[in-house]
Amino acid sequence: MADTKSATLTLDGKSVDLPILKPTIGPEVVDIRKLYGQADVFTYDPGFTSTASCDSTITFIDGDKGELWYRGYPIEQLAKNSHYLEVCYLLLYGELPDEGQLEDFENRVTHHTMVHEQMNNFFRGFRRDAHPMATMVGVVGAMSAFYHDSTDIADPWQREVAAIRLIAKLPTIAAMAYKYSIGQPFVYPQNDLDYASNFLNMCFSVPATKYTPDPALARAMDRIFTLHADHEQNASTSTVRLAGSSGANPFACIAAGIACLWGPAHGGANQAALEMLQQIGSVDRIPEYIKRAKDKDDPFRLMGFGHRVYKNFDPRAKVMKESADEVLDLLGIENNETLKVAKELEKIALEDDYFVSKKLYPNVDFYSGIILSAMGFPTSMFTPIFALSRTVGWIAQWKEMIADPQNKIGRPRQLYVGSGKRDYITVSDR
């Protein structure tokens, strides 16, 4: 990756040569690892708008072109032709599996979908009205207290088992969080169901009536999992990497990622976006909200709009928009006012100079809530579904980091702007 090319930093008459590292594709990077040692200065980049925190082979995003590749495969092709567990294999191992590899992987995941029976007790400690993301942070973190045979991160086999367990059990835990919140009994995973159908069954079946997941809805659910599977070094993935860099328990690291994803600026935006669309309520009220979104003195933002990286359409939003039409049509939902508001809001915003000049486009969270709501999920389950989908991305990135011999604990510095040194004053003299 290193190249003879370099950048020179000249400071107080002193020059430091900084190597330029070349990517497969995308921006080159200035390697500043020796900067502090050679020039006694830090770089300053709150929010990491210009900082590459690592090198990775997993996901590539081109924000200007609106492109997203998992291991080089465009998301549009994977969403159309692949399915989530095959995408999990691809993200974890770097290549698409052959038939035998895929069957073996699906079997391994399927036979890890149950959680330890004692974990059911954790839910009893939560209030019924706890947000499912709160219960998921707690219960996934508690996995670190149960699966001691897959927490030695120095053992590649244990790292592998932890990855399979997390991919397999997150849907079960998310469904349990949902069932607990509505006072219904937990539903065990069924090994004869595919991954998405199993999740729908664990969420929507009840002992009182037979429930058969609709294959078309399961396909749409599976596509949503695929669209959310990984996304380079976003906030929650960076959280998992930073937590993992200290050698922390893999389950605890994923719990940290879930906590970060919950924020409305990140994965929590899918819940906030649908609630915003429902608050707008009708197409004629859109101009009022567009005005508020542009008002610097108004904290209101168009949730599901804008992105740190995409300055063009989020390719996932395009697929999600098509899927919204399909699912509503499948469910016989005509004239869905929320979808109408979403489409009109997108149209008006993309013709408005404020959004065009700031390159604000719908992101992955803008349409997903419409589909999930139509499927019968409450808004509080939108981010848990994002979290279970993203678990494979988090764990693939975590495995890549742990296996990297250059891996070291992440420890940023700061620009200190606090008080100078001063002596203690006793309270009687203050």
Q: How far is the CB of 307 from ligand SDX (least distance, A)?
A: 5
Please select the residue that binds ligand SDX; options are 78, 303, 374, 392, rule is CB under 6 A. Answer: 303
Q: Does residue number 346 form part of the binding site for ligand SDX (CB under 6 A)?
A: no
Burial of 101 by CB count in 10 Å (0-12 exposed, 13-18 middle, 19+ buried)?
middle
Q: Does residue number 318 form part of the binding site for ligand SDX (CB under 6 A)?
A: no
Q: Which residue of the set 307, 404, 423, 429 is catalytic? A: 307
Q: Does residue number 349 form part of the binding site for ligand SDX (CB under 6 A)?
A: no
In the bound state with ligand SDX, the residue whose beta carbon lies nearer, of 193 and 370, is 370
In the bound state with ligand SDX, the residue whose beta carbon lies nearer, of 105 and 366, is 366
Interacting positions 361-420 with ligand SDX (CB under 6 A): 363-365
Instruction: Compute the distance between CA of residue 373 and CA of residue 353 in angstroms, rounded to an integer.
Output: 31
| 12 φψ region: left (φ > 0), alpha (ψ -120 to 50), beta (else) | left
Note if 131 is an active site residue: no
Q: How far is the CB of 177 from ligand SDX (least distance, A)?
A: 21
Instruction: Compute the distance between CA of residue 109 and CA of residue 97 in angstroms, rounded to an integer.
Output: 15
Please select the residue that binds ligand SDX; options are 358, 376, 404, 412, rule is CB under 6 A. Answer: 358
In the bound state with ligand SDX, the residue whose beta carbon lies nearer, of 219 and 266, is 266
Q: How far is the CB of 219 from ligand SDX (least distance, A)?
A: 21
From residue 142, alpha-carbon distances to 7, 87, 222 in Å are 47, 27, 27
Note if 307 is an active site residue: yes
Please select the residue that binds ligand SDX; options are 22, 308, 311, 318, rule is CB under 6 A. Answer: 308
Instruction: Compute the distance between CA of residue 254 and CA of residue 170 in angstroms, rounded to an integer.
Output: 10
367 contacts: CB under 8 Å, gap ≥ 6: 304, 317, 320, 321, 323, 324, 342
Please select the residue that binds ligand SDX; options are 165, 266, 321, 343, rule is CB under 6 A. Answer: 266
Cβ atoms 195, 139 nearer than 8 A = no
Instruction: Compute the distance between CA of residue 299 and CA of residue 199 in angstroms, rounded to an integer.
Output: 36
Please select the residue that binds ligand SDX; options are 113, 151, 234, 238, rule is CB under 6 A. Answer: 234
Cβ atoms 236, 261 nearer than 8 A = yes
Catalytic residues: 307, 365
